[in-house]
Structures are given as structure tokens and as C-alpha cells.
Structure 1
Amino acid sequence: MSTHQPPMPQASAAAPDWQAAPGGPFPGYNSPIPIVRTHLGHALASEWTKIKSVRSTVWTLGMFVLLVIGIGLLIGTLVASHAEPSDSGDGNPLTLGLFGLLLGSVCVITLGVLTTASEYGTGMIRTTMTACPSRARVLTAKAIVFFTLAFVVTLAASSLVAMAQASMLQDAGVRPPSGAEWFKATVGISLYVALLGLFSLLVGSVIRHSAGAITIMIGLVLAPLVIALFMAGSSSLVNVREWLLEYSIPSQMAVLYANPLTGSGPSGWDPLWIILGMTVVAYAGAYALLEKRDV
């Protein structure tokens, strides 16, 4: 008697939803993760996460605030202790805030360069461009996030120094600043410093080397003034010396305090338009190179 039994038919496993049934249409795969079209807001969120999570942001902005407030209060205290009611004259009583901002601007320049150039040094730029292939969107997001951060921090620091110095000098009998002087010494100078930092960011994107870009920017800030000082004894270079003094960055910052280094050159809000024009040109160059070069 045969003991052979026919094999029992095995129950086939249930086909997944995305698998096409024999002879039927392919329904496609439905991911449980919602698919949304990316936009500038996602790039802004990414850049904000990066800039707030690196130590360079804390150190550079922390040093910036320390320099602006520390030097501003120190100079304000020294001047107020020897001030006379007639000392301010027609000048801006808030001019003393310039000294701390001149040194502090180096910190903003450094952070601006590191925001872009450091990603090329670490290779993080490859991940950034993979996550967001639109290079224009990445550059725009970096520019917006950095400019907003630099402007807010500078406005807070410069406003605190301006209020403290105005109070010190007023107690010494010096006239209080006008509304226009207040606006230029807070909002105006903050826009200028933020644009200077943004210009540095774009230079960092072009150079792609942190040390090189920082050196170029510090040279751009200090070199014209230093060269002009060495030309003081040359009568044949008077026009060149005057031009360097008038358009040097320290002099343009001083114009916003109505205290320029020379009696001619930019005045009023001219320094802001000059740095804005430089930033637009640098942005165009950085965008063109970013689209052309490999990461």
C-alpha cells in the first residue's frame, strides 16, 4: 500500500499593496511619509539650524557684543567724567559708540566668512547641495539668515550702548541726541554692519577658503586707512590719500555718526548705498560661480 501523498498546496503570502496583480494595473507606492514640494522656507530652517548649532556663532557674536558694549561703556564713562556742557557742540553725542563697533565688525566679518567657506573646508557643502539641489536657494537662505541675525544682534548692542552713553553725557550737561541721530546710530549703523558681514559671506562663497577670505576682508577694512596715513607726507598723492580716507570703511561708518574723517566724500546715508551696491555685485558674482563650479 503506497504511503506517498500529494504535496499540500501552500497558501501564498498576501501581496503588498504596491505589487501589481497579474493582469491588473500597477497602483504605485503610497509612502506613509507625506511628500511636499520644497521651498525657500525649508532652506531657511536648515540654515538657521546650522548657524545656531555651531560654536563659531556663539564665540564670534559673543565677542562682538562684549567689544561693542564693553568699549562703548568704558569710553562713555571716561568722556562723561571730563565732559563740559559745550563739548558736544553741533556733533553727535552718540559718536563714542563707533569705537566698539569698529573692532566688533571684525567678529561679524569672521562669522560671515565662516557661514559659507567653512562648509567647503569640512565637505558639508556636498550634503547641503544634495539635500537642496537649487544652489540659488541655498545661497539666498544663507544670506537671509545671516543678515537677520547680524542685524538683530548689532541693533541690540548698539542701542544699549547709545542709551547708556546718552544718559552719561546728559548727566554731564551735554545736549541729548536728536531723533535722526538716534536712528542712524542704531538702525543705520546696524544695517551697515550687517551688510558688511553679508558682503563677507559672499566673499567666502567666492574664495571657498576661510583664512583667505577673512584676510581679504580685514585688509579691505584696514588697508585703505593705513595706506592713507603713510601717504601723509607726499604732496603728489594728496588726491589718492583723500579718496582712500573718504571711502575707507571706518570713515563710512563714521559718516553715519555725522563725524567723517574728512570734510568731503560720502555724507548722509551714502555709505549705506555704497555697501549695498558692493553686496549686490558680490552676490551676483557668488551666484554665477556657484552655478558654474562643482561643489
Structure 2
Amino acid sequence: MSTPQHQMQQQAAPAPNWQGAPGTSYTSPIPITRTHLGHALASEWTKIKSVRSTMWTLGVFVLLVVGIGFLVAAQTTNEDFADVPYTVPAFFGLILGQICLITLGVLVVSSEYGTGMIRTTFTASPQRYRVLTAKLMIFFVVAFVVSALSIGVVGLITSGMHGGSSDNEWGGTVLMGALYVSLLGVLALAVGSMLRHSAGAITTMLGVVLVPAILPAFLLMSESMRTIGEKMMEYNAPNALARIFQLDSDNGNGSSQLLLLVGVTAAAIAGAYALLEKRDV
């Protein structure tokens, strides 16, 4: 039984010092690791390989490029490849397949805004620029590898069907063709980051690809607009791919069209970074 004096001593006892003695610091038993770009890359790789939209869009892309390429190659003869590379059949599949990469590029970023998961992403990685950089890098690598493999498979199939008798090198068309359609996807990703809306970004990108291919037919009817129509026809996506695959080799190999796309994509990425830091989620 405690006495009143003992109770007063208990009440006067100082509280435990959980912060430690002066001059000492608390050390957490949980290991702390500074985050870096590698963590963001790992996160984005997990996302892009886990969602069904990636498998569907890339699967349709491969089916279009390889399937249409095989059908075109089956309708050609050895003489058809005297002046063009064996990858030419892939061109016809890429005209449609590029829409798949554009769609995937938009969905990589806009789907997170649509579901609200972007808040979780930015909470885990407050450095927003790091998240966008990881998305751009992962998407570009995936798109380029899949595109290059698809075009290369078409080249191998065509070469096997026609005895490999052509002397035209087709390795360059694999790299440049894959780079062109991959950059279109990266451009779509940047547009999706700026608009934050899947339907709006996809519609915008379809306009970027389709309008320059259709509008010149009307602009060429007017003498005052003919120059604009000719330039638009020269640099639109179908004609750029045609030059890359040497279907229009008299007017270049598509390098100027590729450089223009690089510039437009770089400008869109810069805009995406600027808006990412200014706007709330």
C-alpha cells in the first residue's frame, strides 16, 4: 500500500526522454535508401508490362506489321525487289500500326490521370520530372525494340520467300523505320501528359498524323496555297515512311523528315515538363 509521500514522488518523477540525451540522434532501425531514377524506371517498367492495354496494343501492332507484310510479300516477285529493300512490305503494316504506338503512348500517362493513380505515383516520387523521364525512357525502349523486331521479321520473311537475291541493304530501314514510329509514340506520350485526357490526346495525335496526309489534296488546288500543300505532303508521316523504306528514294532517304519529328517531339517534351511542374494533380 503506497503512502501519500510515495504518490507525490511518483507524480514528480520526470517523463522518459524518448529523444535521447543531448548531443545524440535517433537512428531508425528501418534502412533508408535515397531514391533515384533507377527506382522510377523499375516502377514504370512494372506498370507498362502489367497492364493489359500494353499487351493488346503491341500485339495488334505486331500483327499488323508482320501480318500485312507477309501478305504483301506473298504477292510480289523477285524482280520487285531489284531496287528496294526486303523490308518494304513492312511499310504497309506500319501505316496502320503506328496508330497502335500512338494510342499506347497516350495511355501510358493519361490512364493514371483518369483513374487518379497519378496522385499515388507523385506521392511515392515527389520529383515529378523523374516520373515523366522514366515513362519516356521505358516507353521509347519498348516501342523501338518491338518495332525493330517486327520490321526485321518482315525483312527476313521476304528475303526467305524471294531467295535473298536483292543487293539493297535493309538494316538501315529497320532502325530508321522503328525510330520514326517510336518517336511518334513518344510525341503522343508528351501530348497525353499535357492534355491529361486519353480521348483528347489520341484525337489530337490522329489529327497530327492524318491531317497533313489529307489536307494537301485540297491545298494543291489553290495556287496561293500550293507551296504549303507541297511541304505538308513532303513531311507527312506516310511519305516520310515511304522515303525511309526507299519507295521514294529520288527525294531523299527520309532523314530530313526524321529530324523534323525529333524537333517537334523535343518541343512537346519540353512543354510537358514545364506544365508538369506548374499544375496540380
Choose which of 245, 255, 258 in structure 2 pairs with 1:269. 255
CA distance change for structure 1 residues 235 and 208 in 2, over 3 Å: closer, same or farther?
A: same
CA distance in 2, matches of 1:6, 1:55: 70
TM-score (normalised: structure 2): 0.88
Q: Is the Cα–Cα contact under 8 Å of residues 220 and 230 in structure 2 kept in the other structure? A: no
Instruction: Letter of the 1:102 partner, please give it.
Output: I
Instruction: Report Cα offsets for 1:19-49 as digits up to 9, x if no partner.
Output: 246xx33744332321011110011011111
SS at match of 2:215: helix
Residue 271 (structure 2) aligns with: 285
CA distance in 1, matches of 2:220, 2:89: 25
Instruction: Report Cα offsets for 1:206-238 as digits up to 9, x if no partner.
Output: 111100000111111111111123445555543
Q: Is the Cα–Cα contact under 8 Å of residues 19 and 26 in structure 1 kept in the other structure? A: no
Residue 55 (structure 2) aligns with: 58
CA distance in 2, matches of 1:199, 1:149: 15
Instruction: Report Cα offsets for 1:146-195 as digits up to 9, x if no partner.
Output: 00111111111111011111222337xxx42433xx22221111111111
CA distance change for structure 1 residues 227 and 47 in 2, over 3 Å: closer, same or farther?
A: same
**1:190-269 residue pairs with structure 2 within 5 A?**
190-231=178-219, 233-260=221-248, 264=251, 267-269=253-255
Q: Is the Cα–Cα contact under 8 Å of residues 94 and 177 in structure 1 kept in the other structure? A: no
**1:103-182 residue pairs with structure 2 within 5 A?**
103-170=96-163, 175-179=165-169, 182=170
SS at match of 1:92: coil
Q: Is the Cα–Cα contact under 8 Å of residues 113 and 200 in structure 1 kept in the other structure? A: yes
Instruction: Letter of the 2:236 partner, please give it.
Output: S
Q: Is the Cα–Cα contact under 8 Å of residues 84 and 168 in structure 2 kept in the other structure? A: no
TM-score (normalised: structure 1): 0.84
RMSD across aligned positions (CA): 2.4
Q: How many residues align?
A: 272
Instruction: Letter of the 2:57 partner, please give it.
Output: T
Which residues of structure 2 form unaligned runs of 5+? 11-15
**1:38-77 residue pairs with structure 2 within 5 A?**
38-77=35-74
Instruction: Letter of the 2:157 partner, please give it.
Output: A
CA distance in 2, matches of 1:267, 1:158: 17
Q: Is the Cα–Cα contact under 8 Å of residues 113 and 214 in structure 1 kept in the other structure? A: yes
CA distance in 1, matches of 2:38, 2:204: 32
CA distance in 1, matches of 2:17, 2:209: 62
Instruction: Letter of the 1:258 partner, please give it.
Output: Q
Q: Is the Cα–Cα contact under 8 Å of residues 72 and 89 in structure 2 kept in the other structure? A: yes
CA distance in 1, matches of 2:133, 2:19: 44
CA distance change for structure 1 residues 27 and 274 in 2, over 3 Å: closer, same or farther?
A: same
Residue 19 (structure 1) aligns with: 18
Q: Is the Cα–Cα contact under 8 Å of residues 205 and 286 in structure 1 kept in the other structure? A: yes
Residue 36 (structure 1) aligns with: 33
Structure 1 or 2: larger helix share?
A: 2
CA distance change for structure 1 residues 168 and 230 in 2, over 3 Å: closer, same or farther?
A: farther
Residue 98 (structure 1) aligns with: 91
CA distance change for structure 1 residues 18 and 277 in 2, over 3 Å: closer, same or farther?
A: farther
SS at match of 1:91: coil
CA distance in 2, matches of 1:152, 1:93: 19
